[in-house]
């Protein structure tokens, strides 16, 4: 270490380091931070892991590229000056009283008497380096793991190193205690934990008790803070007082009903604010919103005025009837319903068709629908064909599909949907048995051409895409905010909705987050959407809570879902989660089928998960219109638009456009407005979350542990989406 230090002196002198100058460390948590720190002291320079405010641009920055010069430099002579701030006696560092004496003594006191082995899991450029020096001064060896290590790696490291004292950040300490493997880890030698409250804030009384219980170690009674090493009680009291002061500032903002503030990582604060209730329901009297709806509806009707809707609708209905005959044909190819006299029970159908277990609910729905559509007849437990066998023979189906293809081409100008449906019809016996997976038919050889056609060609799809485009573009262009309007598209898939909408957003100030559960679709979309710099890409799973994915409540103004929520396992939960993500007055715009689509039952339905919502009760592929209305109402949304309107020709196809407003009973509070209110009265950075309610413990008090979990998830999301912004002063 000493040889490395003297090499660092040479390297730093060559870079211009001198007494009084500041060195800014930006090379990460690597061992070279220690000799650089020692060399800086020998030169009389100041060392900092942050940009020194007083130095401006004059600070000397040490980066990864400078570390190679450290190895190449020759050690300075003499190796130790008479007035050096430290010396070495029998392998231990000894510090002069004038340099680092008080901090060293405080750290030595925190480590406890005679530490035998210290594990450092904190930055060597800061708190971890102080601990390393203090350990060496006590003659104890130091084992180091970079501070960014995961909880699992940290636990494994502590088991291997077997320290009696561990140095780590408050954030990592909380993660360790919460990790499932912590209770099983062999940490018998660990007797003391010293943590850095400057990274994650001071632990609560409950968290401190959890450390003792889970890790079997005592917490040091001194922790690092902005004021140096201070007693734990003093830091907790200071943090509580400052949090209370900030919370009082937050609640003084008009429109805030309640607030909670907790320390967050990086000497920052996590602010949670609840919007106040409005005196009346805002959406009923929202004349501007109703005007947007009227304008969008009028533009939509004008766009389709010259379309032969009846012919296009007839082609869709013919597709459904042909799919029904294909279902019956597939069963006949398994030896079922081969003549008018053949009768079978449901169980016999499932057995003889070799129906895979995961597809049995779907095939039961087939039998019910075929009976309702009078292709099968039921007599007690027995089913028989209600149509002549010739109607669903191979030859009859070949003619039907060929005629349908010609009609589809005449009405929509392409045949991709029919090509896909026919491909599925031909492979139905193998799909039923599980020998062929439906996803491979939709994306043959990984191609998306069939899927793209599927979501664009039909008259219902075209009507829905244009309805969404007319409405959302008007919402965006009328946006009154001082920041871009934030749009989230979930289940964006092949981009059928965004392809129609994005050109309409020209001239609007938007931040468009294009998401899907699969990165495959994001990678496919990115090259196509390079002309739209406002579009970002991310993952979103409609079957998982937004916070579990790092998303923040009330963070979007418009959420769009084009035909995706029928893939949800529980539509009620998925819609509630989307509602949470909308700010007060935000718009949820969805397109969904509300009747059985027979051709979907013979294709994409093989890819859908079993539902645990209203579809399970009605044994249907899609929610009905009344069920959808109940879902929206149950999520606390106010329904403001449903298309097609009553009496419209497209109404009989059952494809609906829903528009609903969220939290119309709340004041439209935003993080930008609250940030402006706080101004410079909060010295450290503040990440602001607008939440519907503050979480409470069983005793009725604010659940601060849950708030810490929310804050940690927000921190990870900010770091992934914008690493630079995540470290800056105030979240916007």
String of DSSP letters for 549-588:
GT--TT-EEEEEEES-GGG-S-HHHHHHHHHHHEEEEEEE
Q: Where are the alpha helices (DSSP H) in 49-124?
A: 64-72, 101-111
Q: Round to whole Å and give the CA distance between 398 and 598.
A: 18
Would the CA dihedral through 180, 184, 190, 191 be positive or negative?
Answer: positive
Q: What is the mean pLDDT of residues 307-327?
A: 95
Averaged confidence pLDDT in the chain: 85
The answer on pLDDT for 168 being more than 70 is: yes
The answer on pLDDT for 432 being more than 80 is: yes
Q: Where are the alpha helices (DSSP H) in 112-202?
A: 127-137, 151-161, 170-178
Instruction: Please name every residue paired with 639 in a beta bridge, in sequence order, or none if there are none.
Output: 660
b/e per residue, 49-73, with b = 16+ CB within 10 A? Answer: beeeeebeeebbebeeebbebbeeb
> Residue 687: how many CB atoms within 10 A of its CB?
23
Give the CA angle between residues 213, 219, 220 to the nearest 5°: 170
Q: Is residue 413 helix, strand or coil?
A: coil
pLDDT band at 286 (very low <50, low <70, confident <90, very high): low
For 507, the enclosing helix (H) or strand (E) is none
Q: How far does Cα 123 stand from its chain's mean position?
A: 28
Q: What is the pLDDT of residues 602-635, one digit of tens each?
A: 999 999 888 899 998 888 999 999 999 999 999 9
What length does the chain have? 732
Q: What is the pLDDT of residues 582-602, one digit of tens each?
A: 999 999 999 999 999 999 999
Are the CB atoms for 718 and 732 separated by under 8 Å?
A: no
Q: Round to whole Å and give the CA distance between 471 and 680.
A: 39
Q: What is the pLDDT of residues 368-384, one digit of tens each?
A: 999 999 999 999 999 99
Residue 666 DSSP label: B
Q: Same topology for domains 2-228 and 235-276+669-726, yes or no? A: no
User: Is the bond preceding 626 in cis, omega lying within 30 degrees of 0?
Assistant: no
pLDDT value for 687 = 86
pLDDT value for 579 = 97
Q: Round to whole Å and give the CA distance between 136 and 131.
A: 9
The burial of 498, by beta-carbon neighbours within 10 Å (0-12 exposed, 13-18 middle, 19 or more buried), is given as buried
The answer on pLDDT for 351 being more than 80 is: yes
The answer on pLDDT for 327 being more than 70 is: yes
CATH number of 235-276+669-726: 3.30.300.30
Q: Round to whole Å and give the CA distance between 398 and 411.
A: 20
> Residue 338: how many CB atoms within 10 A of its CB?
13
Q: Round to whole Å and give the CA distance between 452 and 385.
A: 36
β-pairing, 222-225 vs 218-219, is: unpaired
Helix and strand numbers (H, E) in the chain are 28, 25
Could you tell me which of 296, 283, 293 has the C-alpha nearest to residue 586? 283
Beta strands in 338-391 (DSSP E): 343-344, 376-379, 382-385
Q: Is residue 299 helix, strand or coil?
A: helix
b/e per residue, 456-468, with b = 16+ CB within 10 A? Answer: bbbbbbbbbbbbb
As assigned by CATH, the class of the 2-228 domain is alpha beta
Q: Round to whole Å and give the CA distance between 599 and 619.
A: 17
CA distances (Å), 406 to each of 317, 410, 414, 416, 424, in order?
Answer: 15, 6, 9, 12, 18
Q: What is the mean pLDDT of residues 36-61?
A: 68
User: Helix 671-678 to helix 232-251 angle, to the nearest 10 degrees?
Assistant: 110
The answer on pLDDT for 718 being more than 70 is: no
Are the CB atoms for 259 and 671 separated by under 8 Å?
A: no
The answer on pLDDT for 55 being more than 50 is: no
User: Helix 127-137 to helix 101-111 angle, to the nearest 10 degrees?
Assistant: 80
> Residue 298: how many CB atoms within 10 A of its CB?
11
Instruction: Please name every residue paired with 193 in a beta bridge, in sequence order, or none if there are none.
Output: 166, 219
**Long-range CB pairs of 51-55, under 8 A, 24+ apart, other chains included:** 51/24, 52/22, 52/24, 54/22, 55/21, 55/22
User: Is the bond preceding 259 in cis, omega lying within 30 degrees of 0?
Assistant: no
pLDDT value for 312 = 94
pLDDT value for 169 = 83
pLDDT band at 429 (very low <50, low <70, confident <90, very high): very high
User: Is the bond preceding 644 in cis, omega lying within 30 degrees of 0?
Assistant: yes
Q: What is the mean pLDDT of residues 89-114?
A: 58
Give the CA angle between residues 103, 107, 109 to the nearest 5°: 120
How much of the chain exceeds pLDDT 90, in percent? Answer: 54
What fold is seen in the domain 287-305+455-661? Rossmann fold (3.40.50)
pLDDT value for 373 = 96
Q: What is the pLDDT of residues 223-270, one digit of tens each?
A: 655 555 666 677 778 778 888 999 999 999 999 999 999 877 556 788
β-pairing, 86-89 vs 92-95, is: antiparallel
What's 150-164 look like in SS3?
CHHHHHHHHHHHCCC
Q: Round to whole Å and give the CA distance between 459 and 313.
A: 7
Q: What is the mean pLDDT of residues 674-685?
A: 80
pLDDT value for 20 = 73
For 258, the enclosing helix (H) or strand (E) is strand 256-264
The answer on pLDDT for 392 being more than 90 is: yes
Are the CB atoms for 599 and 320 separated by under 8 Å?
A: yes
Show me where the domains of the chain are located: 2-228, 235-276+669-726, 287-305+455-661, 309-436
CA distances (Å), 188 to each of 159, 162, 178, 302, 646, in order?
Answer: 9, 8, 18, 76, 72
Could you tell me which of 49, 242, 232 has the C-alpha nearest to residue 127? 49
Least confident range from 311-315, 430-434, 476-480, 704-708: namely: 704-708
Q: Is residue 530 helix, strand or coil?
A: coil
Are the CB atoms for 472 and 508 separated by under 8 Å?
A: no
């Amino acid at each position: 270490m000493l040889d490395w230090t003297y090499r660092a002196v040479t390297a730093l002198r060559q870079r211009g380091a001198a007494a009084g100058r500041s060195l800014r460390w930006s090379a990460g948590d690597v061992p070279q931070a220690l000799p650089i720190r020692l060399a800086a002291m020998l030169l009389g320079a100041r060392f900092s892991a942050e940009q020194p405010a007083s130095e401006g641009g004059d600070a000397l920055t040490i980066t990864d590229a400078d570390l190679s010069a450290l190895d190449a430099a020759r050690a300075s002579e003499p190796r130790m000056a008479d007035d050096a701030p430290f010396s070495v006696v029998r392998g231990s560092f000894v510090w002069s009283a004038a340099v680092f004496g008080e901090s060293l003594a405080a750290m030595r006191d925190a480590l406890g008497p005679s530490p035998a082995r210290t594990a450092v899991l904190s930055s060597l450029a800061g708190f971890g380096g102080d601990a390393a020096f203090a350990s060496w001064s006590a003659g104890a060896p130091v084992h180091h793991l970079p501070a960014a290590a995961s909880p699992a790696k940290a636990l494994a490291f502590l088991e291997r190193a077997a320290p009696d004292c561990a140095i780590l950040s408050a954030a990592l300490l909380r993660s360790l205690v919460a990790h499932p493997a912590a209770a099983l880890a062999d940490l018998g030698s660990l007797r003391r934990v010293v943590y850095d409250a400057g990274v994650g804030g001071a632990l609560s009384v409950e968290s401190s008790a959890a450390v003792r219980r889970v890790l079997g170690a005592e917490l040091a009674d001194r922790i690092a803070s902005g004021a140096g090493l201070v007693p734990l009680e003093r830091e907790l009291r200071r943090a509580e007082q400052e949090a209370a002061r900030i919370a009082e500032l937050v609640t003084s903002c008009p429109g805030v009903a309640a607030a909670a503030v907790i320390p967050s990582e990086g000497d920052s604060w996590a602010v949670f604010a609840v919007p106040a209730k409005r005196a009346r329901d805002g959406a009923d009297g929202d004349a501007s919103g109703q005007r947007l709806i009227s304008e969008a509806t009028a533009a939509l009707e004008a766009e389709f005025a010259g379309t032969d809707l009846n012919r296009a609708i007839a082609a869709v209905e013919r597709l459904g009837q042909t799919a029904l005959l294909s279902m019956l044909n597939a069963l006949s190819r398994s030896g079922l319903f081969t003549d008018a006299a053949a009768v079978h029970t449901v169980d016999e159908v499932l057995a003889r068709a070799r129906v895979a277990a995961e597809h049995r609910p779907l095939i039961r729905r087939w039998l019910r629908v075929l009976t309702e559509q009078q292709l099968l007849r039921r007599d007690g437990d027995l089913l028989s064909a209600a149509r002549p066998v010739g109607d669903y023979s191979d030859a009859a189906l070949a003619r039907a599909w060929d005629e349908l293809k010609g009609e589809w081409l005449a009405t929509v100008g392409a045949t991709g949907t029919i090509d896909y449906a026919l491909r599925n019809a031909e492979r139905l016996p193998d799909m039923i048995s599980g020998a062929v997976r439906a996803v491979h038919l939709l994306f043959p050889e990984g191609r998306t051409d069939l899927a793209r056609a599927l979501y664009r060609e039909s008259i219902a799809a075209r009507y829905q895409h244009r309805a969404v485009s007319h409405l959302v573009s008007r919402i965006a262009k009328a946006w009154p905010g001082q920041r871009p309007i934030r749009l989230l598209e979930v289940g964006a898939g092949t981009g059928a909705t965004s392809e129609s909408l994005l050109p309409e957003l020209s001239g609007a100030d938007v931040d468009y987050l294009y998401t899907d559960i699969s990165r495959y679709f994001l990678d496919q979309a990115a090259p196509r959407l390079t002309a739209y710099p406002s579009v970002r890409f991310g993952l979103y799973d409609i079957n998982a809570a937004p916070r579990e994915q790092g998303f923040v409540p009330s963070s979007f103004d418009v959420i769009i879902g084009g035909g995706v929520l029928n893939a949800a396992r529980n539509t009620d939960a998925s819609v509630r989660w989307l509602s949470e993500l909308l700010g007060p007055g935000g718009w949820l715009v969805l397109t969904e089928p509300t009747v059985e689509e027979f051709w979907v039952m013979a294709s994409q339905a093989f890819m859908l998960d079993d539902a645990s919502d209203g579809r399970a009760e009605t044994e249907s592929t899609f929610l009905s219109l009344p069920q959808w209305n109940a879902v929206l109402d149950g999520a606390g949304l106010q329904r403001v638009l449903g298309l097609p309107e009553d009496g419209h020709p497209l109404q009989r196809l059952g494809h609906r456009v829903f528009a609903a407003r969220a939290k119309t009973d709340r004041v439209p509070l935003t993080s930008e407005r609250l940030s402006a209110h706080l101004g410079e009265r909060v010295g450290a950075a503040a990440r602001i979350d607008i939440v519907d309610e503050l979480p409470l413990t069983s005793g009725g008090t604010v659940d601060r542990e849950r708030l810490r979990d929310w804050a940690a998830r927000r921190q990870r999301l900010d770091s992934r989406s914008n690493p630079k912004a995540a470290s800056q002063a105030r979240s916007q």
